Homo-oligomer: A and B are copies of this chain.
Amino acid sequence: MERKKTFTSYDVARLAGVSQSAVSRCYKSGASVSKKTRDKVEKAAKKLGYQPNALARSLITARSNSVAVIISNLTNLYYPEVLAQLSQYFSEKGMRVLLFAVDTESQVDGVLGQVLQYQVDGVIAAVKLTLEQIKKFEDRETPLIFYNRHINSHAASAVCCDQADGATVLTQKLIDFGHKKFAYISGPEDSMVGIERQKATLTTLEKSDISDYTIWNGDFSYDGATNATCKLMNEAKQKPDAIICANDVSAIGVIDTLRYEYNIKVPEDISVVGFDGVGPATWASFNLTTIRQPVKRMTKAAVEMMLERIDTPSLANEKRVFSGIFIEGNSAKI
């Protein structure tokens, strides 16, 4: 395969009648170049359509100006927003996003090799990593920031939303209003976020001596929630008066099923709450009572932390935990 005929700094130098070093300097901020030289170079560069080769630059500077973003399930309504934000913020800082979308966590291992090969300056992971995997990045001094997955140990930095706190607030409000019988629509078993929400919910119930609750797996998805709701309605001895869902999409699935399959009114007959604050949560059909994750602030924090650590790799790990925002919709009597 023959090499593409793209112009290099040498071509520009020759055309401009200066040295290659001079050309290089023109593309480096804060280098001392006389106006005359710069003009000549710019003119030649424009003529040739010259663009410096970022790869060659990265090779010597050991900075690729790119970060890897590893995301597990892009179709989750909540991630696209995160991704768009990240991409925007990094772009503003002159950094590129290398996207790694895995659909099963088992793919992660394979992906990590590639991540490393690409000499990314940092990694934002919205997937679970083993300590072993984390250590690889540590060894290379490649900053790693978890997004909404925190690790028990202090092995890595993370920005996340306080799942437990949010779930507690929501649950407590339901209890305070006087709900007695609960159902919980859970997330996937291997989702840390899901587990935390569930644990906090149950703990809160039990603190108020409420043991009348059942748990049904909803898998974070609309269809999962639909199935869970049907099971709940068919198998449970009595109907709950409040259903707490692991996320918004589940809550929407629950509401739809209650309304259209069982002719049950929400919130009059049963209260339903979600978690996330995704776009559709605010749609009139649902008007979900939920906890909104402050996505913008979270991603901004992630980007800031990343840039700091790229600059100063020795920086200690840090966790930034944001509180969710209670959104009072009209899907629950609260």
Task: Please determine whether A84 and B88 come into contact, CB atoms closer than 8 angstroms.
Answer: no
A121 — nearest CB in chain B belongs to which residue?
Answer: B4
Stretch at the interface among A148-156, A176-184, A235-243, A279-287: A279-287
Contact sample, A vs B, 22 pairs, CB 8 Å cutoff: A49-B139, A51-B116, A51-B117, A52-B117, A53-B117, A59-B59, A77-B279, A80-B83, A83-B83, A84-B103, A87-B101, A88-B103, A96-B98, A96-B99, A97-B99, A97-B101, A253-B283, A256-B285, A257-B284, A259-B285, A260-B285, A285-B285
When A6-B140, A66-B98 are in contact, do A84 and B74 touch as well, CB less than 8 Å?
yes
Other-chain contact of A4, B6, B66, B141 (Cβ < 8 Å): B141
**In the complex, A69 Cα to B98 Cα: how many Å?**
10
Q: A85 CB to closest chain B CB, in angstroms?
A: 9
Chain A residues numbered 271-307 whose CB sits less than 8 Å from any CB in chain B: 279-280, 283-286
**In the complex, A100 Cα to B286 Cα: how many Å?**
33
List, in ascending order, chain B residues with CB within 8 A of A253's CB.
Answer: 283
Q: A56 CB to closest chain B CB, in angstroms?
A: 6
Task: Please determine whether A100 and B87 come into contact, CB atoms closer than 8 angstroms.
Answer: yes
Task: Please determine whether A97 and B98 come into contact, CB atoms closer than 8 angstroms.
Answer: yes
A contacts, CB < 8 Å to B = 1, 3-6, 49, 51-56, 58-59, 62-64, 66, 69, 74-75, 77, 79-81, 83-84, 87-88, 91, 96-101, 103, 111, 113-114, 116-119, 136, 139-142, 222, 252-253, 255-257, 259-261, 279-280, 283-286, 313
List, in ascending order, chain B residues with CB within 8 A of A3's CB.
Answer: 62
List, in ascending order, chain B residues with CB within 8 A of A313's CB.
Answer: 4
List, in ascending order, chain B residues with CB within 8 A of A113's CB.
Answer: 51
List, in ascending order, chain B residues with CB within 8 A of A140's CB.
Answer: 4, 6, 49
Other-chain contact of A118, B4, B55, B117 (Cβ < 8 Å): B55
Q: Which 7 A-B pairs have the closest CB atoms?
A: A74-B84, A87-B101, A80-B80, A256-B284, A54-B117, A285-B285, A260-B284
